Structure 1
Amino acid sequence: MSVDSNGGGRRRAVKKRGGRRAGCLVVLVVLGLLAALAWVGLTKGVEWARDQFGDPEDYAGPGSGAVVIQVNSGDSATVIARTLKEADVVASVDAFRNIANSRADEAAKIQPGSYEMLKKMKAVDAFNLLVDPANASVNRVTVPEGLRVVDVLTLLGKKTDFNTKQYRRALSRLELPSYAELNAEGLPEGYLFPATYDLHPDDTPQTILQAMVDRWKRSADKLGLVDGAKKLGYTPHEVMTIASLVEAEGRGDDMPKIARVIYNRLENPGTAGTIGRLEIDATVNYALGRNLGVAISPSDLDVDSPYNTRRVTGLPPGPIEAPGDDAMAAALAPAAGDWYYYVTVDLRTGETKFASNYDEFLSYKAEFTRYCQTSDAC
């Protein structure tokens, strides 16, 4: 029994010694973990301090390779800095932004456009390149008011690297509002908004034409086309058609008056000597497929087309050209008046007179005839 007891005691003593070694190991592991955590914390703290108080990361420059950067209208210095960082032109957003903030007057003059730059440039070099307008490459195209879709496509074919056929194919892929109706030829007449567009290197015929539709949508929303048309008792497409007629026939302050003449004729057929027709010459030219401002002949009036408002009553099936903001606004807010006729009595100044009855119209027409006898503008 005593032998067993001593042996048991030795075994217990051995276990105690092993327990002490295990305890020391645990302490060492814990100390190691604490040291590692301290190192991580110190490293992160240094990084945080450097981020907060040190200079932002910057490339030494001068850079190499080539990359094209696009600066869009309205881009802030921060947006430009992010674009540069994503393209690896600058090492950090802050490196560029700090320079832009310290030279704010120059930064405000950075022009929209495409810039050919190097990768891994020093931020100040990138900034200096952007503030020089000579480095901006922009293909800017102005589409004036009053163009038909075929005219727009021809213009774009001359001003861009794409041809008219490519633009024509892209028309079928445009996203238009549900109420916008294509004409018999499948053209979105009236919905390619007249404005100045900055074209970018990665643009395609579809993106260019869609930008014109999107620009039109912004004007339509701003002017309240849908609600305004409903209040007038017309569809948005009908109001766009009226706006196109106003664009073709008037200018400036006369536009709301011309819109009123159109509404009066539509809503009061047979009044003041009218015969229920709009009788707008520009629609005859559209039906004939030619420039809307061309003088028409008696034989032109017989063209068989739903667009020929000399023969058909009511509105044509859709717009005859692209109206701008002023014409759209006039169609949505016509002037108050009882006019049923208008005559432009001076082609150079555009002076137009409005008549409430047929006799008054005839007197203005005679005035125009006398004008043409002494002017080569006719």
Structure 2
Amino acid sequence: MSEHEDEVLPLGQDEEADEYTAGGARRKRRGPVGCLVLLAVLALLAGGLYVAVDRGMEFVSDQFGSVEDYPGPGEGQVMFEVEPGDVVAEIGRNLKDAGVVASVQAFIDAAAANPDSNGIQPGSYELAEGMRAADALDLLVDPANQVKTTVTIPEGLRVVDIVDILVEETKFNRKRYEKALDDPAALGLPEYAGGNAEGYLFPATYELGPKDKPVDILAKMVSRWRQAADDAGLEQKAAELGRTPAEIMIIASLVEAEGRGDDMPKVARVIYNRLDGPGDKGGTNGLLQVDAANAYGIGKSGTTALTTEELAVDTPYNTRLYPGLPPTPIEAPGDDAIDAAVNPADGPWYYYVTVDLRTGETKFAEDYQEFLQFKDEYLAYCETSDAC
């Protein structure tokens, strides 16, 4: 066989068949097995690419697919608190932690679609576990859904009377309130109150949340007093009147007990005149003779009619025996009484008599003889009225 003739390979030996180049050199030629190997490699690469793409699409689906949300309506009861300053994202996190919503993003999306979401008010709300985010949001944007107790404290009550109302309207017993009253710093009482809350639990209507404890409730009342005191300029006006803020609060409590409406500034003037006057107009000599203070001294309400024996009981609050102001306020004054105490009317009066108990008509006298005339008018009124 010539060296230039093709070699005949045995049957089955074509996988490594030689091939001559144009220059006569011999090169290897790939056979069917090599092609199969190449195809197998390509198949593996293609399979890997498919898996990678498939997993990548799964990742994209997780990140950009539908946000996890409960179908609702939910079950059970969750008392949820929105704190002052909470933003939507923070509320969403707290809702998720409480098991109310399935995801923070579901709540954020619901809030983005609801223009009222920026008006969510701090407070307590009754929600459920497993709520749809939009349903939870609908409850939170309506202030009417806040869980709270409304308590009204009228003017002119002593601390003991106020505690009676709070015990009746809340879930706490008297001991819890008394314990709170023993911590004046926690209540926010001013230093000049001397640690005594009498007169500083402001009469108003309060909204109490389910998490409010006795100290929180009483602190709200003192805070409201602080607002009233600032509005009236209590400290500044006290200095102008030559009195301490504590003395002004005592005077305000006496005005609350004795005065009504437009007469309050006149009653305040009578108190100042008796405190500061020479005592030559009717012989008061600094005696205020406010029976409501006497009643406080023996543990009774200022609206209680006292007997002659009760009026004679010797206590530091007996303004018939001791000149000057009693040691503390005798009840809680409201805005009008505080304002009257710092802005007394101008006038020479030393006495006043309520001549009509139904209308509250009160007459003011400059001297004792005029006072006696008004007293006779009151007695005549009582003969024809069952209000006495």
Pick the aligned partner of 1:95 from 109, 122, 139: 109
For 2:193, the equivalent position in structure 1 comes to: 180
Pick the aligned partner of 1:193 from 202, 205, 220: 202
The amino acid of 1:205's aligned partner reads P
Q: Show structure 1 runs of 5+ residues with no match.
A: 1-45
CA distance in 2, matches of 1:141, 1:118: 27
The amino acid of 1:98's aligned partner reads A
Q: Closer, same or farther in 2 for the Cα pair 1:270/1:55, shift >3 Å?
A: farther
The amino acid of 1:215's aligned partner reads R
Pick the aligned partner of 1:244 from 214, 230, 253: 253
Alignment of 1:347-362 (within 5 A): 347-362=357-372
Name the SS for the 1:376 alignment partner: coil
Pick the aligned partner of 1:138 from 128, 131, 148: 148
TM-score (structure 1 length as normaliser): 0.75
Pick the aligned partner of 1:215 from 214, 224, 230: 224
Alignment of 1:293-312 (within 5 A): 293-312=303-322
Q: Is the 8 A contact 2:354 2:362 kept in 1?
A: yes
For 2:234, the equivalent position in structure 1 comes to: 225
For 2:243, the equivalent position in structure 1 comes to: 234
CA distance in 2, matches of 1:196, 1:80: 30
Q: Is the 8 A contact 1:81 1:97 kept in 2?
A: no
For 2:272, the equivalent position in structure 1 comes to: 263
Q: Is the 8 A contact 2:92 2:108 kept in 1?
A: no
1:195-254 deviation digits (Å, cap 9, x = unpaired): 111122222111111221122122212222111111110010000000000011112111
Name the SS for the 2:206 alignment partner: strand
1:320-361 deviation digits (Å, cap 9, x = unpaired): 011111111110111111111111111111111111121221
For 1:86, the equivalent position in structure 2 comes to: 94
Task: Give 4+ residue runs of structure 1 displaced > 4 Å after superposition.
Answer: 54-58, 63-66, 78-82, 110-113, 131-135
For 2:375, the equivalent position in structure 1 comes to: 365
For 2:48, the equivalent position in structure 1 comes to: none
Name the SS for the 1:273 alignment partner: coil
Name the SS for the 2:364 alignment partner: strand
CA distance in 2, matches of 1:226, 1:57: 58
Q: Show structure 2 runs of 5+ residues with no match.
A: 1-59
Pick the aligned partner of 1:69 from 47, 57, 80: 80
CA distance in 1, matches of 2:231, 2:67: 44
Q: Closer, same or farther in 2 for the Cα pair 1:374/1:57, shift >3 Å?
A: farther
For 1:165, the equivalent position in structure 2 comes to: 175
Q: Deviation of residue 112 (structure 1)?
A: 7.4
1:106-163 deviation digits (Å, cap 9, x = unpaired): x97x887532113564342123334667744321111111111111111111111111
Q: Closer, same or farther in 2 for the Cα pair 1:269/1:86, shift >3 Å?
A: farther
CA distance in 1, matches of 2:222, 2:348: 35
Q: Is the 8 A contact 1:69 1:84 kept in 2?
A: no
Q: Closer, same or farther in 2 for the Cα pair 1:360/1:159, shift >3 Å?
A: same
Structure in which a larger fraction of residues adopt helix: 1
Q: Closer, same or farther in 2 for the Cα pair 1:331/1:71, shift >3 Å?
A: farther
Q: Closer, same or farther in 2 for the Cα pair 1:337/1:67, shift >3 Å?
A: same
CA distance in 1, matches of 2:231, 2:134: 40
Pick the aligned partner of 1:318 from 328, 349, 364: 328
Aligned length: 316
Q: Deviation of residue 60 (structure 1)?
A: 4.5
Q: Deviation of residue 377 (structure 1)?
A: 0.8
